[in-house]
Structure 1
């Protein structure tokens, strides 16, 4: 194997090691929730110093790709872990209590992608996507209505039955059943008025105020694999975003 040191002029060495680690993650060499090799083993593997490996892992940890556990090692981040599973959900109850949402899946079917969804998932407009619809309830009240679009090749075999029998975060389902880990996401947020369909699903009057959140989620290699069109009823909730 050629030493990584030989190509160090192209980018900082730790960034090269970070890229190699991401390649291994993308190839499924280390699974979500499982440990990655020690810094010493990785340093030997890539013929670099442990300090360089540590800096690369620090960068991945800062992006929530891996998680350090004191005294145990470094693990691939998993949305099944309590500290990570709600990282992309920014709804918070106004009274400060824990947010517990109960999901009800309504449908799961293949359909042709429209131009907007195709663009977000880097598909052709004629390509198919998997469309999933669900309602999430807070305190027994319908609070979130989502339409989710997925890549058929990556989520082959997904069905309404499999979704309905899963107990846990949806991103944990993607990891366990389809070896797909969501690494980061981008969102567009705006205020909208409920259409007749949304009002029916959320037990509201047509025209009621809702928060619209369009989220595109990416797996390793910055590949978009999911788009969510979510509508939040925020009478007892608010949306939190940390800026730095």
Structure 2
């Protein structure tokens, strides 16, 4: 009996130019690489396959793969290392640790100041109200983890933060875990929960401290503070954190680089 030939491995099909779903080939390859990143095929800090291997995998030219990776690198999703390859970016890396924290000391630099001392005031599971649910693309009443903490520099309370995280993705997160991890919080989210924040949006305004906020920050009531509201996203623009921070600015300032 003749044995039927085995079918060739299935390869991704790309829409033709002129069709509604058409996008440049390198953008399609970028999307496939993003799918693998989201699925955890390559973990933060790990090397991804070489351009040659990815070109063979997707049956495209190395130039097409290189252009896709160039965009991923520009978006801080991967990091090229000369002579070593391309690696999944991680918040554990020194140059990424402060990517989303723009508060810097007036004197000296952030590295000389050292990491913030963290006092976790509370960490609890609650039901999402309408505003939090909307920000995190959840339903009202879905479980979320709510964290309040104070960040101090040189013993001086400087930032009061309230965080809301989806309860399913961050099941088991505790105050002890938040306080005990000495690296960047986003690195802990990567390592412990497999959630990597890849971009964020912020709203900034000036506010006056209420009595409770003033007490936690060690300032007088009605002291002017900088309010920074952030929504951080993982792959595919999925919101994974709502963070509201109140910043004292007597010795620090908010610094952003525009290009």
Question: Which deviations, in whole Å up to 9, do the C-alpha atoms of 1:190-238 show, x marking residues without a partner?
Answer: 0000011110000000000100000000001110000101000010111
Structure 1 counterpart of 2:255, from 227, 237, 240:
240
- Answer yes or no: is 1:7 the counterpart of 2:22: no
Structure 2 counterpart of 1:68, from 51, 59, 80:
80
- Answer yes or no: is 1:142 the counterpart of 2:157: yes
Structure 2 counterpart of 1:200, from 193, 215, 219:
215
**Which residue of structure 2 aligns with residue 110 of structure 1?**
125
**Which residue of structure 2 aligns with residue 29 of structure 1?**
41
Structure 1 counterpart of 2:174, from 142, 155, 159:
159
In 1: Cα distance, 2:16 partner to 2:28 partner:
8
In 2: Cα distance, 1:96 partner to 1:192 partner:
27
- C-alpha displacement at 1:8, in angstroms? 4.7
Unaligned runs of 5+ in 2: 1-9
In 1: Cα distance, 2:154 partner to 2:100 partner:
21
Structure 1 counterpart of 2:59, from 36, 41, 47:
47
Q: TM-score, normalised by structure 2?
A: 0.91
Question: Which deviations, in whole Å up to 9, do the C-alpha atoms of 1:98-138 show, x marking residues without a partner?
Answer: 24321121211011212111110011122221101111001
Structure 1 residue ranges, 4+ long, deviating more than 3 angstroms after superposition? none
**Which residue of structure 2 aligns with residue 19 of structure 1?**
31
Aligned to 1:84, what secondary structure does the other structure show? Answer: helix
Q: TM-score, normalised by structure 1?
A: 0.97
In 1: Cα distance, 2:16 partner to 2:182 partner:
46
**Which residue of structure 2 aligns with residue 94 of structure 1?**
106
Unaligned runs of 5+ in 1: none
Higher relative contact order (CA 8 A, sep 6+): 1
Distance 1:81 1:53, change over 3 A: same
- C-alpha displacement at 1:70, in angstroms? 0.9
RMSD: 1.1
In 2: Cα distance, 1:3 partner to 1:144 partner:
48
Larger CA Rg, structure 1 vs 2: 2
In 2: Cα distance, 1:63 partner to 1:218 partner:
13
Does the CA contact (< 8 Å) of 2:143 and 2:168 recur in 1?
no
- C-alpha displacement at 1:3, in angstroms? 4.8
Structure 2 counterpart of 1:83, from 95, 107, 124:
95
Question: Which deviations, in whole Å up to 9, do the C-alpha atoms of 1:141-185 show, x marking residues without a partner?
Answer: 000000100001111111112222211100010011001100000
